[in-house]
Amino acid sequence: MAAFQKLIDLIKEKKTLLCVGLDTDLDKIPEVFPKNSSGITEFNKEIIVSTKDLAIAYKINFAFYEQYGVAGYKALYDTFKAIPPSHFVIADAKRGDIGNTSMAYAKSIFDYFNADSITVNPYMGYDSLSPFFHYKDKIIFILALTSNQGAFDYQKQKINNEELYKLVIKKTSVSYNFEQTGYVVGGTHPEEIGEIRKLVPRHLLLIPGIGAQGGNIDSVLKANGNSPAVVNVSRAIIYPDGSGDYFERVRNKAEYYSKALQIL
């Protein structure tokens, strides 16, 4: 099944937009887990078991694994294998380079890790994006307007009186079909999400920035309307506040966000 239809079916079935981000940091996981790659894997497995009935997707941020070298790549691979095939998996790798390099990145993400989707950086142009789009059954999430403060440095700067992120969306949405193309838009920009939806009502949005980064769920859902989206929550779920059983707290947080991101 093509990744787009897989995600749409999951949204319809579970009636939520919740994606759990696996930004696993050895310094933050409970002491009971060893401070090595097996600790990362075992922690992630517990997170997945605690949340899989509440989430439609998991987003794996490659940087949190790559920092540990070979051992981190093993944890990355094992984490992919631990996610049920029924769920949508986003490789948050933010790749993008000249054509043959991007093709190598695409082979890694889609052939080796078998992810359903990837995040890519569009700022080297079409030849850096096109190798990813050779995989017709995958979704390519293009960085458009990110949730960090640095988004104002370049993405919101104007070229010929139009903001750069809008130019990226307009050009790529014409070049690539909506079943393959999505956009990363931070939940800290609800007003801009509304504007983006006027440009691309049918495209998927990957919306991070909810929870620890302060994005407001009600504002995001209102701005997004009935268009397809997946909303990522990482730290607020996998590193819960409070006392008591750790993974009960994880589940409680996931239940809260799953309900808060519920759609009719």
Name residue, tokens 């966000």: 257
Catalytic residue among 94, 107, 156, 166: 94
**CA distances for 244 relative to 51, 211, 212, 225, 236, angstroms:** 18, 21, 21, 37, 16
51-84 burial, b at 16+ Cβ within 10 Å, e below that, comes to: bbebbbbbbbbbebbeebeeebebbbebbbebbe
Report phi then psi at 140, rounded to 5.
Answer: -110, 110
| CA distances (Å), origin 194, targets 32, 199, 207, 220 | 44, 9, 13, 9
- Quick check: is 198 catalytic? no
Q: Residue by residue, what is the 3-state secondary structure of 114-138? A: CCCEEEECCCCCHHHHHHHHCCCCC
Q: How far apart are the C-alpha atoms of 30 and 132, rounded to whole Å?
A: 37
Q: What is the DSSP letter of 176?
A: S
Q: Which residues are catalytic?
A: 94
